[in-house]
Structure formats: C-alpha cells, structure tokens
Structure 1
C-alpha cells in the first residue's frame, strides 16, 4: 500500500517507534520485577496488540467493554476497574478478569460476593498526594471521588482483599517526584500494604520520555516491592505509545482575519479531543519555530475555538498540502466521535518492514448506525 495514495484524515502508527518504547518497558521489568498492564483507556487499537503483547503482562480497564476487549484480544492478566460498577457490570466481567478493583468500600461490600473465588479482589486508595499538570486530571483534587481517603478507611478491609491500586500520576516525567509519592504511600499505608499480595501504582509514569532515569525507577520499585512483600504493577498508556503515531490531515482552505488560518479536514473536538479539553497545542511535523510564515491550524468543525495549534513554516502553506500532527495515539482513537458528521480518520500501521497495514476505516454507514438502528421512512 502506497502512503501517497491514502486519503486523509488518517492515523499512522509506526511499529518501529512502538518497539523502541516497548524495549524500554522490557528493561524496566527486568531490573525491577514490576509487571506492566496496558491502560486501554488510553490506547485500545487492538490491531497492533500483536506488537505489544510480547512485552507486557496484560491489560487494565476503566469499564466493562474494555475488560472484554483486553480478555479477548490481549490476553495475559486482565485487570478490571471502574469508578462505579453496576451489578450487571460486575457479573458481566467477573468470570473473565484476573483482578477486580473497586473504587469504594461500599462497592466492594456490595459486590464482592460475586467476585470471590473468581478473581483477586482489590480496592483503590487515594493517598491525597499526586503529580498532575492540570486540576482536571488530578486524582487527589479537592472533593475527589477517586479511591478511598486514608481517614475514611475501615482498616479491617485489608484482611479480606488481595491488593490495592493507587493512581495519582499524570504524565509524570520526574522520577524523583514519583519516588517522593512512593515514599508518602509507604509511610501512610505501609502497615496495611504488608498484608497484601500486590500493589498497582496505576499509570501516568512517563518512563519512556527521553532522558528518563529508568534504572533509578527500577531500583525504587524493587525496593518498595521487597519492603512490603508485594508484587508491583504499573499501568502504562502514554508511556507505551508516545511519539509513535501521526494524525495526517490535508489543508482544504486558507482564510485570513488578522492571522492566516489553514483549515484542515479534521477537528480536535472529533479526532483529537484532549487537545481541546486540556488546551494543549498539537505539534506539526512540517513546522519550524523559526519559520517566517505563521498559521493557525484550524479544524473544519463549526466550533469557533476548535484549532490544533499556531505554527510557523518556512514556506507558505497551500491547499492540498498534507500535515502530520505528531504524537496522536494516546486518548485519540478511544475518543473519536461523529461531531458535525465529519469523516472519521482511518487507522493504519506502518510495519517495520515498510508495509502499510490497514487496521480500520469508517464510512457513512458507521455514522448512521451509531445514532439509530431502525429504518427511517
């Protein structure tokens, strides 16, 4: 398949770049003894799980459909977690998950009888400390609903569960900051952790970021595991797929209102939602910060503030020109939607051999079926 013939918009996952991240994950596992489970809430494109599975130990979820997907397409350990289960949710996944982690003591008490004898029981704890760039993504934010606060815990619960999960990092590229959080957890919950079989530290630890001290992280995780006698888990998402995928778009128009805007055939609200939610500008492969020609890279949605970024280029942009919006794997494909009835990006993988493999494409019938299933007369 010739890349130049592909119709935009589309995602292109690069297998070689993915393997670079996975090799770092493999090294971390070897030096620390930690187990790694892929966070499907970040990346669920199962067409490339054949690349990821040999390196990781399983998958973790935030809802029942993700549990099913992990069980069916990833294998290994399947961890089930939800902020709020219904009884139907629990019954739906109890037979196919290896660990079921509850968000509250009340949910644990209500549904543990369904899970006992089938899966390892866990509880999410909220240590009240975190590392997050924005309050929106901060699990320890004021009035947080995520996990049990230390002063609310009925300590007898530790006699009847197998493990606990903490998740208090968001894109944490600072190993020393993570170590400080681990130390705080050990001091706050140590006597309880000593009774357990496993501890998950959740996701958000960006150990594949350039220059990250993996050796230091590995030594810290091993020391924590040895101290409390527990199997340690991390739930990487972005760390596995960072810098592996471009969203390729085409300039369809150029308009000017004090600034020039290049309108592309994609939208943050439909195809790269976190750019909009967190107000974090995208990066364009073809851009040059020193370039003389500045453009707003605007979407083709009707939302007035829907834009990818402001970028400079060496030469003026032209209608029909393709742009590569970089680092577009995490929290993108899992959040695709049909806003404005825009064409949804196809998904491809460029294999290490150079071959282009189509993983999925979407058309009008997918849009129509997502809204109603009966015939319209």
Structure 2
C-alpha cells in the first residue's frame, strides 16, 4: 500500500515515527468488511501495535483488544475499553459504505499470557472479559478465581502445524510451549472452558494455506468445537493485501462458525496498521568503502528491531519528503564480504548509528548519492516496531507523530535524557 506519509515537511527533529490515521482507517474498513460478511469479531493485537494515540480512529471498527500480559490488558482496558475516553466518538457517519460499530457497544478485553504469576490474576480479572490460559496447569491453578468473578475461561490449543516462514515465530516449532495439543487432556477440562484460542499464522498471505490449515484444525478438534461457545483464530492473516480474496475468506469463516455454532474472533495486528507508519531519519554522515555508505540518526536494533531478528531490510518510503518506494536489494547483510562485494559498487548501504556492526537498514539502488542532511522515511515502521523500541546505546528515542484524518500534525510524544536515565534505575 502506498500512503501519503511523507508528502509534507514536519518541523520535528528526527528520528520520529509518523503514523497516518487515513491509512489506518483504510485498513479498519477492510477489517470491518470482513467482520460484516463473516460474523467474526476483530480484536486489536496489542503485542503488535499499542500506540494508543490513534485508538480513537480504530475503536469504531474493532470489537476490542487482545493482550499478552497484564500491562497490555490494562492498557487496552484504559484506552480502548468501554470506559475509555474514546467511547464518545461520533460514529453516525459511515466511511466508504462501512458501518462503524455503535459507540455504546462494549469493547471486549481478552486476556492471555504464556504464563501468569499468581499475584497477577486478581488484577487481570478486574480488566478481562475473557481470560485464556496457555496450559492446563495454569487453567487448573486459576480457573476457580475466574469463575468467582464470572469471567469466561479459554484455553490455547496447538494444532502442531502452522503457516510461518520463520522458526523463531513458529508456534508449532519442535517442543513448543504455546498451547495444549493432547486431545484427551483437552477433553478432560472442557467443563472448565467456554472457548479456545488457536494462533498458528504468521504473515500468511495465502487464502488457500489458511483454509487448508483450518481444515486440518477441524479434523483434529472439530468434536471439541461443538462443545464450545467461541474460538479465536488469532492473527497473522494478511487479508488486507489488494489481491486477497476477502469474500472467500469471509465465507470460509462464516461456514466454520455456523458448522460448530461458534463465535469466531480474529486478532489483527499487522493487518490493522500495515502501510500506516514510517520511521523518519536524517543522514548524519556518509562514507565510501567499496560502496556508498550512509549513517542515519536511528538504529534498527533500537527502533526497528524485527529487521535484525528476522534478517530483513526496510523499504524506503520517501527521500526528502518526496514519496518514492524503493525496496531493499535482496542481500543478506550476514553474508560473507565476498558475496556482498559482488553487488553493484554504486549501491548504497544505509546504516544505523549504534555500535552494532550489523545495524543495517538495507542496501539500495538510489537515484542519487545521499548527502549529509538528507531525510529518509523507512516504511512498515508501525507493527512489531514501536512496541519494541528501546534505549540501546542511548540512541535518541524517536518521537511519535500522528497525521490526523483532517491532515493536521500532532506531536504525540517526545522523549528526553531524563526518560533514558529513568529507564535504567
């Protein structure tokens, strides 16, 4: 998706994250359409994106949030829930024919954690509308407290298959701790739960792969589903792609729901904010070492950590406020020096400013050699990015800037030395 994230000059020192509410709403409309056609409910996955400064435009289209910790749950409750400040939004108007949810609709807060500590449970139950346990042992330990508060209980299931290209993100990896897979053990605790959560997709853009995977899940757990009230199929389904068969997905979900008499939940994270955020940086220095080198005032380890984790590169969305989509070349920065030298000598490698040797945004074929002071905006800087930002090397934390629906610019948050200092002790 191409957005207008960098079409105007913004008088904020770099680096900063720039979020575009119009691009977020475009994603919201696709999600709302899917829910409308399928009967599914959509919960924002806070583990992926939790910048609550834009929740006001997201809340009318989503049914709530899902969390992976007590802190995320509380954040969702306070900033997205039924009692949050955003429930006064006027949703009487539709956008592109998509009917927003009624502002009076109570938002659901789903609580999940790989492992809860005993002292967290009382507070979790203050905020949760459903609590999902990762294991039967956690379910056994805390189910009575949930029952005492009339909080519906769920259990995570692991079908031992997944759609994930990365072993680090694969919930079905060998010896996985993410959910229960033994059917007999699950059946034994059915009286204690009302639903289940199955999350086994990661950036899956294939409808057929999703449908085949769901068929496999049905074969394994179909008779269990018939005894439940709801199932969450998690996130990681890239249904916002322009060529994704959205109606076909909706019919598949609707048929699944009707077959088992279940309320289906989806947990869109990346799908909620894809294409809606950039990381805007400035070139601090340039060098030449068999290739053009540029060093910007940001860092992938500190500000776009998934690039480092998954050995990926960031596409460039704009140069000096001029929109220009430049994908990084398919060169693994971990390859040996001889392999890297085989690429064109006039390519540009863009480095972060941290001391990590592999702090590399990517290698690019640019229309011109970069100069000190040039401004670069890297795309896809919202999902699994802002939630992971850190103070590595004491590199300046990016400000958070929001382009509102009316085009105005809000500097939502800036960070300073005192916050760096306070984060350490």
Distance between the aligned counterparts of 1:141 and 1:324, measured in 2? 35
Distance between the aligned counterparts of 1:257 and 1:124, measured in 2? 51
1:225 to 1:323, Cα distance in 2 relative to 1, 3 A:
same
Contact preservation (8 Å) 1:292, 1:312: no
Kindly state the Cα deviation for residue 193 of structure 1 after the two structures are TM-superposed: 0.6
SS in 2 for 1:119: coil
State yes or no: 1:46 paired with 2:52.
yes
Aligned residue among 286, 294, 305 for 1:254: 286
Contact preservation (8 Å) 2:171, 2:199: yes
Match in the other structure for 2:367: 314
Aligned residue among 346, 353, 356 for 1:300: 353
1:292 to 1:53, Cα distance in 2 relative to 1, 3 A:
farther
Distance between the aligned counterparts of 2:10 and 2:57, measured in 1? 25
Match in the other structure for 1:375: none
SS in 2 for 1:149: coil
Aligned residue among 103, 119, 131 for 1:88: 119
Distance between the aligned counterparts of 1:154 and 1:49, measured in 2? 36
**Over the residues paired in the alignment, what is the CA RMSD in angstroms?**
1.5
Kindly state the Cα deviation for residue 352 of structure 1 after the two structures are TM-superposed: 2.2
SS in 2 for 1:153: helix
State yes or no: 1:349 paired with 2:402.
yes
Kindly state the Cα deviation for residue 169 of structure 1 after the two structures are TM-superposed: 0.3
SS in 1 for 2:316: coil
1:314 to 1:292, Cα distance in 2 relative to 1, 3 A:
farther
Match in the other structure for 1:63: 69
SS in 1 for 2:111: strand
Contact preservation (8 Å) 2:204, 2:236: yes
SS in 1 for 2:119: helix
1:354 to 1:146, Cα distance in 2 relative to 1, 3 A:
same
SS in 2 for 1:203: coil
Match in the other structure for 1:221: 253
- CA deviations on 1:266-307 (whole Å, 9 max, x unpaired) are 000000000000001110124647999421110000001111
Aligned residues: 371
Contact preservation (8 Å) 1:293, 1:314: no
Distance between the aligned counterparts of 2:53 and 2:184, measured in 1? 42
Distance between the aligned counterparts of 1:345 and 1:221, measured in 2? 39
User: TM-score, normalising length from structure 1?
Assistant: 0.96
Match in the other structure for 2:29: 23
User: TM-score, normalising length from structure 2?
Assistant: 0.85
Distance between the aligned counterparts of 2:414 and 2:9, measured in 1? 15
Aligned residue among 124, 145, 161 for 1:129: 161
Aligned residue among 366, 380, 384 for 1:327: 380
Kindly state the Cα deviation for residue 344 of structure 1 after the two structures are TM-superposed: 0.2
Match in the other structure for 2:19: 13
Match in the other structure for 1:190: 222
